[in-house]
Amino acid sequence: MSQAMPTTGVHVRAPGKLNLFFEVGPLGDDGYHDVASAYQAVSLYEDVWAEPSDAFTIAVSGSVDVSTVPCDDRNLAVRAARMVAREVGYRGGVHLDIVKNVPVAGGMGGGSADAAAALVAVDALLGADLGTARLLAMGAKLGADVPFALMGGTAIGTGRGDELRPALAQGRFEWVIVTTGDGLSTPEVYGHLDAQRDDGLAPEGREDIRDVEPGVLHALRAGDARALAEHMRNDLQVAALALRPELRTTIELGERSGALAGIVSGSGPTIAFLAEDRDAALDLQISLAASGYAALHVHGPVHGARVLA
Ligand code: ATP
């Protein structure tokens, strides 16, 4: 294979995600769960700059606490960069500069967004032009949420969440998210759900999950926030709330303060509140902030990982 020639530098932005609906099947023999997920990419972004270097290196900073993010080959973005380089036979290195705004271990897919951004950035940096289908396949090898961070918008994910199809969604949904510095480990939350199910403390997972509830698809198609609020669901919530009981108070406060509904995002601990419209979201953000919460107003859907000029 010919040696790819890097350009000088590329800037890519990738979004964090919310799960509007997340059904988790029983623990499979392979140690994984099948899921049915409705994802929405929201306007909280990771910025990744890639430039040619002698080795694969990374610097991580941001508006969130990044002290627990690995800065070596354990970082998903470094693995993504190496994967593209290997794919095109590039023998040099790449330096990645990551500026994170998505809370680490927050259930919003920040690491996956970094990996998606790195795939797109290094593909552009090396002039590889691998194409969407190959980048999606490479993303799925890195993690179940990476393909969605590439795709963005609103999508339905089945299998491990990586068998994706775009969902028709009209208009724009207004969200207020409440973040906490102290993240939750995704494997720990899944493990806790399995234990709760074994002990009869959580409903059994349905075998053979094929899709999200039709009500979710109808609400998205109609751009109807009230209808979506009625159908939002997250099977990991019962586990996240058991591990972090204080999140229940957050959800109750948000719902009393005007949210249509509040839900744990992914494996938590971020809470996502759906608001009726922009004004309602601003009011909600202000009242949650006045109560001492770190509340951000975001909207969705937004684009997946893409190169910025
Ligand atoms: P998900 O919802 O996709 O399961 P998350 O949003 O809860 O994940 P992330 O912030 O993506 O959590 O990261 C989870 C863990 O992955 C971190 O604790 C960290 O150790 C590791 N990690 C690897 N690469 C990254 C990265 N680029 N950014 C953040 N964490 C990373």
CATH top-level class of 10-168: alpha beta
Active site residue 145: yes
Q: How far is the CA of 155 from the centre of ligand 1 (A)?
A: 21
- Output the DSSP codes for 229-280: HHH-EETTHHHHHHH-THHHHHHHHHHHTT-SEEEE-TTSS-EEEEESSHHH
Cα(216)–Cα(161) distance, rounded to whole angstroms?
A: 16
Please tell me if the CB atom of residue 270 comes closer than 6 angstroms to any atom of ligand 1: no
The active-site residue, picked from 114, 123, 145, 235, is 145
pTM of the predicted structure, to 2 decimals = 0.94
Ligand 1 atom 2 nearest Cα: 107
**Residue 2 — very low, low, confident or very high, per pLDDT cuts 50/70/90?**
very low
Ligand 1 atom 8 nearest Cα: 109
User: What integer best gives the mean pLDDT of the chain?
Assistant: 95
Ligand 1 atom 24 nearest Cα: 75
**For 125, phi and psi rounded to 5 degrees?**
-60, -40
Report, as an integer, the average pLDDT of 227-250.
97
Cα(135)–Cα(114) distance, rounded to whole angstroms?
A: 14
Q: How far is the CA of 55 from the centre of ligand 1 (A)?
A: 23
Active site residue 198: no
What are 217's two structure tokens?
Answer: 């698809």
**Residue 204 — very low, low, confident or very high, per pLDDT cuts 50/70/90?**
very high
**Chain-centroid distance, C-alpha 151:** 11
CATH 3.30.230.10 residue ranges for the chain: 10-168
CATH top-level class of 173-300: alpha beta
Please tell me if the CB atom of residue 77 comes closer than 6 angstroms to any atom of ligand 1: yes
Cα(113)–Cα(48) distance, rounded to whole angstroms?
A: 10
Residue 161: left (phi > 0), alpha (psi -120 to 50), or beta?
left
* Best residue for ligand 1 mutational test, from 186, 188, 193, 236 (most atoms within 8 Å of Cβ): 186
Check residue 6 and give its pLDDT. 58
Check pLDDT > 80 for residue 7: no
Ligand 1 atom 3 nearest Cα: 109
CATH 3.30.70.890 residue ranges for the chain: 173-300
**Residue 8 — very low, low, confident or very high, per pLDDT cuts 50/70/90?**
confident
